[in-house]
A and B are shown apart, each in its own frame.
Chain A
Amino acid sequence: MRRRAAIWLAIAIGIMTILLALVFAFVQQGW
Chain B
Amino acid sequence: MKRIFQGSFWISLYLLITFLPLIILLVGPRPIGRELWRDFSVGLGFCSFSMLGLQFFLTARIKAVKAPFGSDIVYYFHHQISRVMFILIALHPIILFIFNPINLQLLNLITAPWAARFGVSAILLMGGLIGLSIWRKRIKIEYDRWRIWHGILAIAAMTFALVHIELRGYYLNTLWKQIFWGLYGLFWIGVMAWVRVIKPLILLKKEYFTEQIIRENGNAHTIILRVADSKGFKFQPGQFAWISIWDSPFQDHEHPFSISSSAMDRSKISFTIKDLGDFTGRIKQISIGQRVYVDGPYGAFSIDRYPRSREFVFIAGGIGITPFMSMLRTSADRGDQRAFTLIYANKNIESTTFLEEINSMTGKINLKFILVLEAPPVGWTGEIGFVNSQILKRYLPVDLKANQVKFFVCGPLPMMDAVEKALYELKIPLSDINSERFDLV
Hey, which bits of chain A sit against chain B, CB under 8 A?
Answer: 1-3, 6-7, 9-11, 13-14, 16-18, 20-22, 24-30
Q: Does B25 contact A (CB under 8 A)?
A: yes
B43 in contact with A21 (CB, 8 Å): yes
A14 to B84, Cβ gap below 8 A? yes
Given contacts A1-B420, A1-B430, A13-B15, contact A25 B40 (CB under 8 A): yes
Known: A2-B435, A28-B30. A21 touches B44 (CB 8 A): yes
Which residues from A are CB-within-8-Å of B34?
28
**Contact across chains for A22 and B40 when beta carbons are under 8 A apart:** yes
- For the complex, is B236 an interface residue (Cβ under 8 Å from A)? no
The CA-CA distance from A22 to B84 in the complex, in Å, is 17
Given contacts A1-B433, A10-B81, A16-B15, contact A24 B76 (CB under 8 A): no
* CB-based contact A20/B33 at 8 Å: no
* Bound complex: CA A19 to CA B289 (Å): 58
Residues A20 and B43 in contact, CB atoms below 8 Å apart: yes
Q: Which of A2, A17, A28 contacts B39 (CB 8 A)?
A: A28
Closest chain-B Cβ to A25's Cβ sits at a distance in Å of 4
Interface hits, B70-85 → A, CB 8 Å: 70, 73, 76-77, 80-81, 83-84
Q: How far is the CA of A10 from the CA of B78 in the complex (A)?
A: 9
> From B430, which residue of chain A is reached at the shortest CB distance?
A1
Most buried by B among A1, A6, A21, A30: A21
Alpha-carbon distance A26/B70, docked complex (angstroms): 39
CA distance A17 to B91 in the complex (A): 12
Q: Are A9 and B11 in contact (CB under 8 A)?
A: yes
Give the contacting residue for B37; candidates A3, A9, A10, A25; CB below 8 A. A25
Q: How far is the CA of A6 from the CA of B51 in the complex (A)?
A: 15
Q: Name which residue of chain A comes closest to B82, CB basis.
A: A10
Are the CB atoms of B44 and A18 closer together than 8 Å? yes
Q: Kindly report which residue of chain B lies nearest to residue A1, judged by CB atoms.
A: B430
CB contact under 8 A between A17 and B48, given known A6-B80, A25-B37: yes
Q: How far is the CA of A29 from the CA of B42 in the complex (A)?
A: 13
Alpha-carbon distance between A13 and B88 when the two chains are bound, in angstroms:
11
- B328: CB under 8 A from chain A? no
- Most interface-central of B30, B38, B69, B80 (chain A CB within 10 A): B80
- Give me 4 other A-B pairs in contact (C-beta within 8 A), A9-B80, A27-B26 excluded: A18-B88, A20-B43, A21-B43, A22-B40
A14 and B43 contacting across the interface, CB-CB below 8 Å? no
Inside 8 A of B43's CB, which chain A residues have their CB? 20-22, 24-25
| Cross-chain contact B36 with A10 (CB below 8 angstroms) | no
**Which chain A residues border B88 with CB–CB below 8 Å?**
14, 17-18
Q: Are A28 and B33 in contact (CB under 8 A)?
A: yes
Contact with A along B98-138 (1 / 0, CB 8 A): 00000000000000000000000000000000000000000
Which of the residues A1, A6, A10 comes within 8 Å of B424, measured between beta carbons?
A1
Leading 4 A-B pairs by shortest Cβ distance: A21-B43, A28-B33, A25-B39, A10-B80
Interface centre among A7, A17, A26 (most CB of B within 10 A): A17
Cβ contact of A21, chosen from B30, B47, B51, B73, cutoff 8 A: B47
The answer to whether the Cβ of B62 comes within 8 Å of any Cβ in the partner chain is no
Evaluate contact between A6 and B84: CB separation under 8 angstroms: no
Instruction: Say if the beta carbon of B18 comes within 8 Å of chain A.
Output: yes
B87 at the binding interface (Cβ < 8 Å) = yes
B44 & A29 in contact (Cβ 8 Å cutoff): no
* Contact status A6-B47, CB under 8 Å: no
A17 and B44 contact, CB distance less than 8 A: yes
Q: Does B354 contact A (CB under 8 A)?
A: no
A17 to B30 alpha-carbon distance, docked (Å):
21
A8 CB to closest chain B CB (Å) equals 9
Q: How far is the CA of A14 from the CA of B405 in the complex (A)?
A: 36
CB nearest neighbor in B for A15: B84
A24–B14 Cα gap in the complex (Å)? Answer: 19
Interface residues in B359-386 (C-beta closer than 8 Å to A): none
The interface residues of chain B lying within 8 Å CB-to-CB of A1 are 420, 424, 430, 433
Query: Is B183 in contact with chain A by the CB < 8 A criterion?
Result: no
